[in-house]
Chains A and B, each alone.
Chain A
Amino acid sequence: MIQALRHRGPDGYGFLLEGPVGLAHARLSIIDLEGGGQPIHNEDGSIQVVFNGEIFNFLELREELEARGHRFYTRSDTEVIVHLYEDYGDDFVHHLVGQFAIALWDAPRQRLLLVRDRAGIRPLFYTLAGGRLYFASEVKSLFTQPAVPRELDSLALGEVFTFWAPLEPHSLFRDIQSLPPGHRISVEKGKLKVDRYWDWAFPPEGIDNHRSVEDWAEELRELMIDAVRLRLRSDVPVGAYLSGGLDSSVITSLIHNFTNTPLRTFSIGFEDEEFDESRFQKTLVEYLDTDHTHVTCSREDIGRIFPRVIWHAESTILRTAPAPLMLLSQHVRGSGYKVVLTGEGADEVFGGYDIFKEAKIRRFCHRFPDSVLRPLILNRLYPYLKYSPASGGAFGKQFFSQGMDYINQPFFAHIPRWSTTQRSWKFFSKELKEAVSGRVGFESILPLLPRDIDSWQPLNRDQYVENHTLLSGYLLNSQGDRMAMANSIEGRFPFLDHRVMEFAAGIPPRYKIKVLNEKYLLKQSMAGLIPESIRRRNKQPYRAPDSQSFFRDGKALDWVMELLGETELRRTGYFNPAAVQKLLKKCAAGRVIGFSDNMAFVGILSTMLLDKMFVQGYSSEAFT
């Protein structure tokens, strides 16, 4: 099982076999290079742990633990886990600032504990098969066990083609669960118990007028400095991604201004001008005077590496955006680095996404549905898109007026996105349509939402739903952890420090998005620290060329033709061959310009790859 995870930890293996339990660890050595091998145990060896990730506040925790009489035999951050567990039991997790998937064996109690970090940065999958519990950081490790069935889950497919990711705790595979963020599992005397130890909770409705913007901004700046400072702890050099946008500029500027760490940065650009942000990256490189590596990604690159992207993502994906990040992490590794800080999470935590602004506008229009003037504000959205949903006049308006019947639902903001995504269902086979119809719908999200969510302010509701669908299921999984770990790179995410998230939950929504100025408070907190051109820049979401990456001179790449040919589509049974042929034809003619066709194409292709590699056992090398 551990051999399948070698890319996550190429620096060594460790094992423990004791009674009913077996633990294995593939190490990416970052802290205590000599002595940090796992499993790591407490003073008498009765508590053993393996974990993937980092405990960033380990120095402070160690000092407290030593003051209470605990003895340490390594310099590793891992060791604080066993001693904290001795003192606090399962609640030890509340003391951790970090990103982690932990497996802890308590020998005296014959008890196994699995814990996943609050935001869901590090993955953890599990399944019960043949009377055994199997768990691992990636599904491919579980599939080394013959007892574990290999089958795609129809409902999860319906969910991905709605919410962009399977809903917690589903994975794309039947009977394989993903432990949701902020959850833990205990197994004792043959009983398995799952519980949630943390959630991103927001205060009930009400406007906080007590604090000024300056006051909020100052506290935020201090918190971000600390979140970045802790994430620079490492015995190997640490780099940072630089996208040219606000979020990575914040991280790199804080490193530059408030730490002694030499700044080493990496960025990705595109041959396609529509997606390229090199100009802004250059501004920041010059401003911060960093040692910088720039990688240019072409459509050909995306088409070439896409099968490997799916091998690592282990999921259907609807955009190709993870692919360039895999290319980038390869260059980071090639430059001798294995840790990078990134700006991921800022949009979710501080209100950066267009979907939040879009919802704000839709609510604004809903107050006076007959107003002729209010909808004009739609033109302020999506200035960066070649083909914007806000264009097309009355037709654009129709897009934004979708779902007004759901105005009071916590998922109101997400209806245009989910409706657009569900347009892909017309490519489903009759069997798949039958399997998901009436079983997957917008309301499927409701059981996952907090009971009091209706009492939260609208933006807070939108952020919660976004956090539990797109962030943990897609961005952190398919675009974050997996694309970095594919090349043995550890990503660190200061914006997803739970102290930052908890602080952000209390910020009045009108300071998060001021009118239509997204991440307003974050921008205020960075005044004077980042170039004004970047601070005042309109947000451009990170995107990459989608369906065009798989066509040359009006013809699909050979492996794409084969995978989306009638024989393969009929054999797997997920999609309607005649409909997919028409989509291929439309793509080949260069007439696919909208979101929904692009998402359908990338989603179908990635699902077929997933089946080929994980159900049928082909290697990602087979597709060239």
Chain B
Amino acid sequence: MSTLHTVNKSPFERNSLDTCLSLAGNGSTVLLIEDGVAGALKNTTATQSISDAMGKGVKFAVLGEDLSARGLPADRIIDGISVVDYTGFVQLAADHDNVQSWL
């Protein structure tokens, strides 16, 4: 079983990303949406925990529309995080066995 985790809160405001990363395992994907996209940027206090999770085999994606809306450039995101659109979000949901939203 593989899970798509969505995180919609900034890691600088809530612990959603922390809890998510403590539970996301090999083969699962974490998709950052809404205010959660802030966690995708390089050189933040959240960057290391994302890199560590990548090392465990967790994949990462970020919703491009939410990055753009917030003026956060896609060329500043952590290497290895893929940028998807809403169709990509749908595809991720279809490709995993279940979806956990870290509200």
A and B: partners? Answer: no
Q: Give B contacts to A, CB under 8 Å.
A: none
A-side residues, CB < 8 A to B, are none
